[in-house]
Chains A and B, each alone.
Chain A
Amino acid sequence: MRPSRRHVLQIGGGVLAGLVWPRPAFAAEPVEILMGGKADGSHVWFDPVGLHVEPGRTIRWINLDPGNSHTATAYHPKNFERPLRIPERAEPWNSDYLLPDESFSVTLPVEGVYDFFCVPHEHAGMVGRIIVGRPNAPSGGPAAQALPDLALRAFPSIDEIMQRGIIRRT
Chain B
Amino acid sequence: MIFRFAAAIGILTLAVPAFAADQVEKAPPTGAYKKVSELVKLPDFLPGLGQLYVDPKALPAGPFLAYDREGRLVSTVYMLPIDDLANKDKRFDDLAAPGGKVDHVDVYFNAGHPGVEKPHAHVVLWHVPKADETRVAAK
Residues of A within 8 A of B (CB): 37, 39-44, 66-69, 96-97, 99-100, 119-121, 123-124, 126
A123-B118, A123-B119 known; A43-B42 Cβ under 8 A:
no
Which chain B residues border A99 with CB–CB below 8 Å? Answer: 41-43
Q: Are B117 and A67 in contact (CB under 8 A)?
A: no
Cβ contact of A68, chosen from B108, B113, B118, cutoff 8 A: B113
Measured between beta carbons, the chain A residues less than 8 angstroms from B138 are 39, 66-67
A66 touches B110 (CB 8 A): no
Number of A-B contacts (CB under 8 A): 62
Chain A residue at minimal CB-CB distance from B106: A40
Name the contact of B47 in the complex, choosing from A42, A67, A69 (C-beta under 8 A): A67
A69 close to B118 (CB less than 8 A): no
A42 to B109, CA, bound (A): 5
Q: Which 6 A-B pairs have the closest CB atoms?
A: A124-B111, A97-B41, A41-B110, A120-B117, A42-B109, A120-B112
Closest Cβ of chain A to B36, distance in Å, is 11
Does B114 have its Cβ within 8 Å of any Cβ on chain A?
yes
B114 proximity list for chain A (CB < 8 A): 69, 97, 120
Q: Is the CB of A69 within 8 A of B42?
A: yes
A43: nearest chain-B partner, CB-CB: B111
CB contact list, B5-64 vs A, under 8 A: 40-43, 46-49
Interface centre among A40, A42, A99 (most CB of B within 10 A): A40
- Cβ proximity bits B122-139 to A, threshold 8 Å, 1 near / 0 not: 100000000000000010
List of B residues within 8 angstroms of A121 by Cβ: 111-112, 117
Q: How far is the CA of A86 from the CA of B41 in the complex (A)?
A: 27
- Specify which chain B residues have a CB less than 8 angstroms from the CB of A123 in the assembled complex: 112, 117-119
Q: Can you name 22 A-B residue pairings with CB atoms under 8 Å?
A: A37-B111, A39-B138, A41-B122, A42-B109, A43-B111, A44-B112, A66-B47, A66-B138, A67-B47, A67-B48, A67-B138, A68-B113, A69-B41, A69-B113, A96-B41, A99-B41, A99-B43, A119-B117, A120-B113, A120-B114, A120-B117, A124-B111
